[in-house]
Amino acid sequence: MENPAVRIQNLNVYYGNEQVLFNINLSVPRNSVYAILGPSGCGKSTLLRTINRLIELRPEARVEGKVEIMGIDVYRELPREQVARLAGMVFQMPNPLPHLSIYDNVALGPRLHGVAKGRKLDEIVREALEQAGLWEEVKNKLKKPATSLSGGQQQRLCIARALALRPPVLLMDEPTANLDPVNESKIEELIRKLSRETTIIIVTHDPEQAKRVANRGAIIFKGKIVKENFIDSLFAVPYYDLIQKLTLEERMIIEALQEKR
């Protein structure tokens, strides 16, 4: 694949002596939605946190291999704190900073990175809130605390916060896991819309969600990619059957799938 948004090569990740990701290789096309799927504990969040180097906040973690975002080797060519400019992150639990206002939550990244102040910053905040589909709901109460918003609104605020540095890549770790179906579908619509300009990598437990939002995806099992393809082809074998079989006849199936690739 030429000029992918994210290219991961020969990635191995360890927590202490325990290896949790094994020789991961994948490329994410630009302006697409890429789903990372797999059962609990298989290493999905670890993979996401390796892409933006958040993993380094855990002193027991060790990373081998190469991660490129927009052609930049993030472990060798950038200081860690600059990676947020290439890849924004949205977490499972909406986590706005509770002591900050709606405005200040979104302005946080641009301020920390010295990108803008005054009018220019106002424009960035407004644009990020518009992109996150929240502007109309909050434009008259920007000074109110972020915690005055509902759970679904708080998650869209976190998306706005991640977008405020205008990163080309957005990483989302089960962004709808704690939301009701109405807010879930709002965020899914947003994901599809944002992917016109931004590459999105979404971790999800839910194959139906992956089918709704993603173009392509990978299934991880026990730290290994066992299947990687366009989203329709990925589910040619029903997902639950696949996972069921993996847990029953783990080794055989992993080997069979790897041979087919």
144 belongs to the binding site for ligand ATP (CB under 6 A): no
Number of residues that bind ligand ATP (CB under 6 A): 13
Measuring CA to CA, which residue among 53, 63, 56 is closest to residue 85? 53
Minimum CB–partner distance for residue 126 and ligand ATP (Å): 34
- Selected from 19, 20, 29, 108, the binder of ligand ATP by CB under 6 A is 20
> Can you say how many angstroms the Cα of residue 25 is from the centroid of all Cα atoms in its chain?
17
Output the smallest distance, CB 56 to ligand ATP, in A. Answer: 12
Interface residues for ligand ATP in 50-89 (CB under 6 A)?
Answer: 58, 60
CA distance 52 to 75: 9
- CA 125 to the chain's CA centroid: 21
For ligand ATP, the binding residue among 42, 83, 134, 164 (CB under 6 A) is 42
Give yes or no for residue 155 binding ligand ATP (CB under 6 A). Answer: no
- Rg of the Cα atoms in the chain: 19
The verdict on 45 binding ligand ATP (CB under 6 A) reads yes
> 54 near 162, Cβ under 8 Å?
no
178 binds ligand ATP (CB under 6 A): no
234 binds ligand ATP (CB under 6 A): no
Give the integer Cα–Cα distance in Å for 47 and 49: 5
Binding flag, residue 12, ligand ATP (CB under 6 A): no
In this chain, which of 5, 46, 154, 253 binds ligand ATP, going by CB under 6 A?
46
* 3 state DSSP class of 210: helix
Applying CB under 6 A, which of residues 5, 7, 24, 44 lies at the interface with ligand ATP? 44
When asked if residue 179 is in the footprint of ligand ATP (CB under 6 A), the reply is: no
φ and ψ at residue 40, rounded to 5 degrees: -55, 135
- The nearer residue to ligand ATP, 41 or 71, going by C-beta atoms, is 41
d(CA 105, CA 98): 9
In the bound state with ligand ATP, the residue whose beta carbon lies nearer, of 61 and 108, is 61
Alpha-carbon dihedral of residues 7, 53, 38, 11, nearest 10 degrees? 50
Stretch that binds ligand ATP, among 13-21, 68-76, 121-129, 154-162 (CB under 6 A): 13-21
Strand order in the sheet with 61-69: 18-28, 6-15, 61-69, 72-73
The SS3 assignment for 73 reads: strand
Is residue 40 involved in binding ligand ATP (CB under 6 A)? Answer: yes
Interface pick for ligand ATP out of 10, 41, 72, 82 (rule CB under 6 A) = 41
Binding site for ligand ATP (CB under 6 A): 15, 18, 20, 38, 40-46, 58, 60
